Amino acid sequence: MSTRRDNRRTSRFIRRWPQVMGFLALLAAAVLLTFYAMSQSREASGATRPAGTPESVTESVSEKVPQIDILGDSYVAGSAEGGTGPANWTRVAGTRFYELGDRVELNVIAQPGSGYLARGTTNLVFREAATLRIRPTADVVLVFGSRNDGRQDDETMYNAAKLLYSDIHEMAPQAEILVVGPVWVDADVPDFIAANNAAMERAAAENDVVYVDALEEGWFAGAEEGLIGADGIHPTDAGHAYLAAKIFPLLEDMVQEPAAG
């Protein structure tokens, strides 16, 4: 009796053997597939690289493009008199960098009618616009102007400039700050514009800021014609080309200075 039961068990096992082997084969294939997928995943993530860092990451770090933020009034924005689109001096300067084989990222923060204290079309003073738009990763921050501030108390003008420069240092700690003071359309500069310029220059000297005194250098005060439009205030396209010729070398020096140091 026992022998017959053993024989039946043996017979059933033999009949099921192909099914058992098939299951074992599928199990082995699944294990191998899982192992292969894990090994591919480790290689793709760079875990098997001796240096521990994918080449693409290394290249992106070494090729950081200098960032230039430009804050200013309608002399930055352009106007109906000129300086719109490719004719704008910021665009001309960017094109000049490109032509020389240098890549830069420009962030233009144009506030027509605004200044350190004046609120223009955006209803923001320079300091408020900077808080909203200055990039913390900027390498250079240029502040341009402004003739819009009008007649101000010397201490009020000085404090507004000092706060702006201090805020930019905090917002973009690695950036060098370049300030171009207010410009005038000829050599007959009003006393209050000259006073504002002096207050801004004093604040710059106390806050590690490079200051360009455009009044003293005589920007737009020479014999060149056609640089200021019919409104007697805003630069023409030729005037924007003139500004680009003045400002590009300043930006170029500041962008290249960290690499040289």
pLDDT tens track for 248-260: 999 999 998 654 3
Write down the pLDDT at residue 256. Answer: 83
Residues of the chain with pLDDT under 70: 1-62, 257-261
What's the maximum distance between 2 C-alpha atoms anywhere in the chain?
128
Write down the pLDDT at residue 64. Answer: 82
Return the CA Rg of the chain: 33
Write down the pLDDT at residue 46. Answer: 32
**Across 214-254, where does the E strand assignment appear?**
none
DSSP string, 93-128: HHHHHHHTT---EEEEEE-TT--SS---TTS--HHH
Write down the pLDDT at residue 223. Answer: 81
Write down the pLDDT at residue 207. Answer: 93
Nearby residues of 105 by Cβ (< 8 Å), 6 or more positions away = 65, 66, 67, 68
Q: Name the phi and psi angles at 258, rounded to 5.
A: -60, -40
Write down the pLDDT at residue 19. Answer: 53
Write down the pLDDT at residue 182. Answer: 96
Write down the pLDDT at residue 233. Answer: 95
